[in-house]
Amino acid sequence: MLISRFIQAAFLTTALALPASAAKQVEFVLPSGNIGCIYTPQGGTPVYQPVDGGPELSCDRVEPKYVRIVLGPKGNAKLYKNVGDASCCSAGPVLTYGKFWKAGPFKCKATTSGLDCRRGSHGFFMSRARLEAY
């Protein structure tokens, strides 16, 4: 009986420490495998919290030089040329050229020219030849 109550108390403590529905990050990569993105919902995840609380869209380009562009919930996108935790890109899911991806306030379109992502009037364009954050 005492062991049963201990297990119940431990379970309740653990359940209360975890969020009711843990938010998940979403990843996608362009067909070339050169650009990959991670979307983090508002409030972050149990293992990652955006600096400003999110939501956040972070996209990495591998070639010709590794860079990252991060678009948060307000203001312009930020371009990072010295990325200390280079980890791009997952194997999928693939955002096929000509298709759109949308989550939270963000919308992206993949084309053979590159990736165009926006949040209202702010956003970025990323390709092998061009980087633009606005």
5-50 pLDDT, tens digit each: 333 333 333 333 334 345 799 999 999 999 999 999 999 999 999 9
Query: In this predicted structure, what is the pLDDT of residue 123?
Result: 98
Q: What mean pLDDT is predicted for residues 69-81?
A: 97
- The pLDDT tens digits for 111-129 are 999 999 999 999 999 999 9
Identify which of 116, 122, 35 has the alpha carbon closest to the alpha carbon of residue 72.
122
Beta strand ranges found along 48-121 (DSSP E): 56-61, 67-71, 78-80, 100-103, 106-111, 114-119
Q: Count other C-beta atoms under 10 Å from residue 43's C-beta.
A: 13
Q: Which two tokens stand for residue 53?
A: 């609380």
b/e per residue 63-99 (b: at least 16 CB within 10 A): eeeebbbbbbbeeebeeeeeeeeeebbeeeebbeeee
What's the one-letter identity of residue 118? Answer: R
State the Cα–Cα distance between residues 9 and 110, nearest whole angstrom.
50
- The pLDDT tens digits for 78-115 are 999 999 888 888 888 999 999 999 999 999 999 999 99
Query: In this predicted structure, what is the pLDDT of residue 69?
Result: 98
Report pTM: 0.81
